[in-house]
Amino acid sequence: MDAWSRFLDAFFKWQLIERYLPAILDGMAVTVEIAAAVVITGILLGLVLAILRAFRILPLSALIVIFADMLRALPPLVLVLLVYFGLPSVGINLPSFAVLWLVLSCVLAAFAEEIFWAGILSIPKGQWEAARSTGIGFVSTLAYIVLPQAVRLTVAPLTNRTLAIAKNTALGMVIGVSEILSQATTGQSFAGNATPLTMGAIAYVILFIPVVVLGRWLETRFAWRRA
């Protein structure tokens, strides 16, 4: 066997592709489900935290800042292990996919809160004052005047950050969530061949390349233009 066919045999073996395709597709479904759940809860929670912070109630803002800082400073894998191994012994039993969802949602919420908050701060004070002086309430000013303008600044960084955290669903392998990577590594050790790993990597590229391209487009579309 020459080198090329040995390479194909190790990474793209046809029988193995056929045998492990169903498992990888199952993994893709799990990855998409968890990623979608994380994106929705994470961004919503982040938005709620940023809005609460806009009220500038000191103790509340301090708590939000501490939450956001800690979850941005800690490696997600540390949090996953902490929650996964810690909670059962205090009587809370969560299935591993729920642990992954909970941890990644909180991490995304922390980053999203900072991004939304930066967006809110970027709106000149005059906008607030003008809105308030025409008799619009605080909440309405935030909802109809400030947030719509702030979103422009947040779309690109939020997309990139969301992608980075959605990719962390691969950490599910460590605690036995049957997403793409754990299907791929299981297949690899059963088959004694790297083909399932190649399939797993390709599955991620298929899922996430559209988001990478979208993020790139948004970055140029909403680029921060200097005045």
Partner 1 sequence: MQALLQQFFDFAIMARALPLLLTGLGQTLVLCLVVIPLGLIGGLLVALTSLARSRAVRWSAAAAIDFFRAIPPLVLLIFVYAGLPFAGIRLSPLAAVAIAFLLNNSSYYGEIYRAGIESVGHGQWDAARSTGLKARQALIYVVLPQAVRNVLPDLISNTVEVVKLTSLASVVALPELLYSADMARSITFNTSPIVLAAGIYLVMLWPIVRLVSRLERRIAS
- Which residues form the interface with partner 1 (CB under 8 A)? 7, 10-11, 69-70, 72-79, 81-82, 85-86, 89-91, 114, 118, 121-122, 163-164, 167-171, 173-174, 180-181, 184-185, 188, 193-194, 197-198, 200-201, 204-205, 207-209, 211-213, 216
Q: Nearer Cβ to partner 1, position 42 or 76?
A: 76
Q: Nearer Cβ to partner 1, position 136 or 197?
A: 197
Q: Nearer Cβ to partner 1, position 136 or 219?
A: 219
Q: How far is the CB of 96 from partner 1 (least distance, A)?
A: 15
Please write down the HEC assignment for all residues of the chain: CCHHHHHHHHHCCHHHHHHHHHHHHHHHHHHHHHHHHHHHHHHHHHHHHHHHHHCCCHHHHHHHHHHHHHHHHCCHHHHHHHHHHHHHHHCCCCCHHHHHHHHHHHHHHHHHHHHHHHHHHHCCHHHHHHHHHCCCCHHHHHHHHHHHHHHHHHHHHHHHHHHHHHHHHHHHHHHCCCCHHHHHHHHHHHHCCCHHHHHHHHHHHHHHHHHHHHHHHHHHHCCCCCC
Q: Nearer Cβ to partner 1, position 10 or 139?
A: 10
Q: How far is the CB of 90 from partner 1 (least distance, A)?
A: 5
Q: How far is the CB of 134 from partner 1 (least distance, A)?
A: 25
Q: How far is the CB of 78 from partner 1 (least distance, A)?
A: 5
Q: Nearer Cβ to partner 1, position 41 or 122?
A: 122
Q: How far is the CB of 205 from partner 1 (least distance, A)?
A: 5
